[in-house]
Amino acid sequence: MGALDGIVVADFSRVLAGPYCTMLLADLGADVIKVEGPRGDDTRQWLPPTDANGVGTYYLSVNRNKRSIALDLTDPTDLHAARELARRADVLVHNLRPGAMERFGLGYDDVAATNAEVVYCSISGFGPKATLPGYDLLVQALSGMMSLTGSPGGPPYRAGVAVIDVMTGLHAATGILAALHHRDTTGQGQHVETNLLSAALSSLVNQTSAYVAGGVVPHRMGNEHLSLYPYEPMATGDGELIIAVGNDQQFRRLAAALGTPGLADDPRFATMAQRNANRRELRALLLDRLAERPAQEWFRILTDADIPCGPINDVRQGVDLATELGLAPIALADKVPTIRNPLTLSATPTRHDLAPPELDEHGAEIRKWLKN
């Protein structure tokens, strides 16, 4: 049994933030019923890439452990089924535009009127009063995130994955779990709300703090870090190696491993603040030493010296590394390869039982259940 065994989730969400949230709940044991329109979730058509069966891997990435029912909310019979599902659900999640659920009598007030214990989660792009479409790329731009990504003087870039959607899904799941605990304590449901822009600003952590607490507007620094040095890819004799020094003790070990222990006592480099102020001089000295050996040799030497470092892997190499470390990153959801949920719970382990469903794959059984 999973930690959320017995919890029914009515999932009216689509694309990424909502489906990622509900997949996490499903992995923890919840019965997630994915409500799709007649044409299905948009990501069913987001191709390529596809798996061996021609199914889009984007859709597969966030929809395991769910059951699917296709409902046309403009059809009275299907709308009745949707409302009955909402009445029976412990949790309802949607990321439709503000006002869309209300038009079908599925807003929080409507659902709570017949299901007072419901935990109702609304995910929007910019909050309940804004109608801007909530696309991750748009929020990366508007939040300031893109202004931080890229080379100094070069164009801003988006992150290589829809990180704002993912982080918003994580925030939503956390809020839902907190509301379920409150419900278990008090018997009261509640409305959980989050949005992409607020999640983005929270997730920019030290960068937004630099502005609101320090009055500093951060800017693009390429792969460098505003507050840490050395903390970036550095060229070696045959390629780049990430070196991530987070404190003075690590720098002292780095200097010794490079054969230049005096750097740690040099007044220009002895503390993090001094290294940041004199990073150009320090960088030149480090690169001179790193050029003497290939990246893999330095990786071994520096790792043995307990210095955080590593090569820049591609995705395949990242998965292979996790496998080598015994993390078992790949699970089979009914024969469909998937990346394993990263949580390990000793008493209520996560599950990877159901493959991402075909459109309306479970429609008949769900409709039968709703009529009982």
184 is catalytic: no
State the pLDDT confidence band at 1, using cuts at 50, 70 and 90: confident
The pLDDT score that the predictor gives to residue 17 is 98
Q: Which of 11, 78, 90, 165 is catalytic?
A: 165
Label residue 82 exposed, middle or buried (CB < 10 Å: 0-12, 13-18, 19+). buried
pLDDT digits (tens, 9 = 90+) for 273-314: 999 999 999 999 999 999 999 999 999 999 999 999 999 999
Contacts of 5 by beta carbon, 8 Å cutoff, 6+ apart? 29, 30, 348
pLDDT digits (tens, 9 = 90+) for 110-145: 999 999 999 999 999 999 998 888 999 999 999 999
pLDDT at 221 over 90: yes
d(CA 336, CA 330): 10
The pLDDT score that the predictor gives to residue 132 is 86
Domains defined for the chain, CATH in brackets: 8-205+328-371 (3.40.50.10540), 231-316 (3.30.1540.10)
pLDDT at 167 over 90: yes
pLDDT digits (tens, 9 = 90+) for 40-52: 999 999 999 999 9
Name the CA dihedral angle for 32, 33, 39, 41, rounded to a multiple of 10 degrees: -10
pLDDT at 220 over 90: yes
